[in-house]
């Protein structure tokens, strides 16, 4: 089992920045590929970013590429999502997710563990 706890959400003006953190604990937490997803009201949960267990490879949704950066600190069992140049359409609940394997995925149904989510609200 892997437990995930997100933090760092909040209210920010358009053009601003936030950094989300996801603290992982449990069995082999540092060996898991990790991802960030988001869900806006009335919409499906969508892929945002993913990172392999080593951090060597990262993947982004087109809508956040060049604005968001995913990274991880394995000794701290923590994954980050740095979000810059935020837009009102980035408003959503952001979820951290972990896979049982080391290879990252953009598909939400390939993730085995989920955090409780953290709200990000971007005002115009």
Is pLDDT above 90 for 26? no
Backbone angles phi, psi at 98, to 5 degrees: -130, 145
Average of per-residue pLDDT across 80-105? 96
DSSP state of 40: -
Looking at residue 13, its pLDDT comes to 98
Looking at residue 27, its pLDDT comes to 72
Q: How many CB atoms lie within 10 A of CB 99?
A: 21
Contact criterion met (CB below 8 Å) for 111 and 96: no
Q: How confident is the model at residue 31 (pLDDT cuts 50, 70, 90)?
A: confident
Q: How confident is the model at residue 124 (pLDDT cuts 50, 70, 90)?
A: very high
């Amino acid at each position: 089992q892997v437990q995930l706890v997100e933090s760092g959400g909040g209210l920010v003006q358009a053009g601003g920045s936030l950094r989300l953190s996801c603290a992982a604990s449990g069995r082999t937490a540092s060996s898991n590929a990790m991802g960030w997803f988001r869900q806006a009201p009335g919409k499906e949960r969508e892929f945002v970013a993913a990172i392999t267990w080593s951090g060597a490879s990262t993947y982004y949704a087109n809508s956040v590429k060049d604005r968001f950066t995913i990274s991880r600190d394995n000794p701290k069992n923590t994954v980050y999502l740095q979000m810059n140049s935020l837009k009102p359409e980035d408003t959503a609940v952001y979820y951290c997710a972990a896979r049982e394997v080391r290879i990252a995925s953009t598909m939400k149904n390939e993730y085995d563990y989920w955090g409780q989510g953290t709200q990000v609200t971007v005002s115009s």
